[in-house]
């Protein structure tokens, strides 16, 4: 039996915050700031956004490894943060996150229409997130109230390794019964999420304006002067460059055109691993 390349997409693997819900990805970032503050350590919103897309414990560990933050911690406690200190911050982060997740649960404009269109085209909808399962259950519940229910959900602590490893995307492939990773597209607003898709052998779409990289509300994004918006797009594209996304778009609202283009490329025999 000979290998046959897929001729069209079978599934879209979507991130959550900054991709389908929570325009600007405020829910996770603001809580990092608050969790560190409860230990008397200042972390700015910009610093908190840096490792976004990782699992939350790894995110906190990465923040604690930033020399400036490590020095603030040392000034407060007389030592740089250990893994036990990271766990203590994480354990404070978790209830704060669950408590406040509803404040940033609104669907991103256009998301429901796009997902409905993708389903009409026969695509399955998988999802994954840097959130652990206990937070994801709340996120999924709130999204369902707003009309969004994907076919599968994988939390970061449901696999051996979270992003940028490919495990979450591949868990979706298995659960959804997809025949080839090249028939999948991973959509995310963070570089770890794009690396996840790349490492899984999928097509990848990076969102430049709805998520962590721009970090604005929808109204603030729409109010940006065109020249400033172009500058921000260029800055964010440079941030994503090392992760090598196949496509860059502002928000999920532009995804259908990308899906059509990928299907055309697959029909011509192109594969994501060669692009």
Render pLDDT for 214-264 as a digit per residue (tens, 0 to 9). 999 999 999 999 999 999 999 999 999 999 999 999 999 999 999 999 999
pLDDT over threshold 80, residue 201:
yes
- What is the phi-psi region of residue 107: left when phi exceeds 0, alpha when psi lies from -120 to 50, beta otherwise? beta
Domain limits, the chain = 11-26+104-274, 28-103
Q: What is the pLDDT of residues 117-176, one digit of tens each?
A: 999 999 999 999 988 899 899 999 999 999 999 999 999 999 999 999 999 999 999 999
- Give per-residue burial for 35-46: e unless 16+ CB within 10 Å, then b: bbeebebebeee
In this structure, are residues 184 and 128 in contact, taking their beta carbons and an 8 Å threshold?
Answer: no
Measured in whole angstroms, the distance separating CA 224 from the mean position of its chain's CA atoms is 23
**Residue range 9-32: average pLDDT?**
92
Paired tokens of 83: 């893994």
The CATH number of 28-103, from 1.10.3720.10, 3.40.50.2000, 3.40.640.10, 1.10.150.240, is 1.10.150.240
Q: What is the pLDDT of residues 146-162, one digit of tens each?
A: 999 999 999 999 999 99
- Told to judge if 149 belongs to the known catalytic residues of this protein, a careful annotator would answer no
The CA distances from residue 171 to 76, 78, 177, in Å, are 41, 42, 10
What is residue 233's predicted lDDT score, i.e. its pLDDT?
Answer: 97
Phi, psi dihedrals of residue 194, rounded to the nearest 5°: -70, -40
> Whole-model pTM?
0.89
pLDDT band at 265 (very low <50, low <70, confident <90, very high): very high
Q: Are strands 152-154 and 247-249 parallel, antiparallel or unpaired?
A: unpaired
Place of tokens 């790349």: 198
- Told to judge if 15 belongs to the known catalytic residues of this protein, a careful annotator would answer yes
Instruction: Give the architecture (CATH level 2) of 11-26+104-274.
Output: 3-Layer(aba) Sandwich (3.40)
224 vs 220: CA distance, rounded Å: 6
Q: What angle do CA 185, 190, 194 make, to 5 degrees?
A: 35
Catalytic residue among 56, 58, 85, 124: 56
pLDDT over threshold 80, residue 53:
no
What is residue 52's predicted lDDT score, i.e. its pLDDT?
Answer: 75
């Amino acid at each position: 039996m000979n290998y046959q390349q897929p001729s069209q997409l079978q599934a879209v693997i979507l991130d959550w915050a900054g991709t389908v819900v929570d325009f600007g990805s405020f829910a996770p970032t603001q809580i990092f700031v608050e969790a560190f503050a409860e230990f008397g350590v200042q972390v700015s919103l910009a610093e908190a956004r840096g490792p976004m897309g990782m699992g939350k414990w790894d995110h906190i560990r990465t923040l604690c490894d930033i020399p400036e933050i490590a020095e603030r911690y040392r000034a407060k406690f007389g030592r740089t943060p250990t893994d036990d200190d990271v766990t203590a911050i994480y354990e404070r982060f978790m209830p704060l996150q669950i408590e406040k997740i509803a404040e940033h649960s609104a669907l991103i404009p256009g998301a429901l229409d796009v997902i409905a269109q993708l389903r009409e085209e026969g695509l399955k909808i998988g999802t994954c997130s840097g959130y652990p399962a206990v937070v994801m259950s709340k996120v999924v519940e709130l999204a369902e109230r707003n009309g969004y229910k994907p076919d599968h959900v994988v939390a970061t602590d449901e696999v051996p390794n979270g992003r940028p490893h490919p495990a979450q995307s591949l868990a979706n492939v298995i659960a959804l019964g997809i025949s080839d990773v090249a028939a999948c597209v991973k959509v995310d607003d963070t570089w770890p999420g794009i690396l996840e898709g790349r490492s899984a052998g999928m097509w990848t779409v990076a969102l430049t304006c709805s998520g962590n990289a721009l970090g604005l509300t929808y109204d603030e994004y729409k109010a940006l002067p065109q020249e400033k918006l172009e500058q921000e797009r260029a800055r964010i594209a440079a941030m994503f460059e090392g992760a090598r996304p196949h496509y860059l778009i502002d928000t999920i609202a532009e995804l259908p055109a990308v899906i059509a283009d990928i299907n055309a490329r697959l029909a011509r025999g192109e594969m994501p691993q060669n692009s």
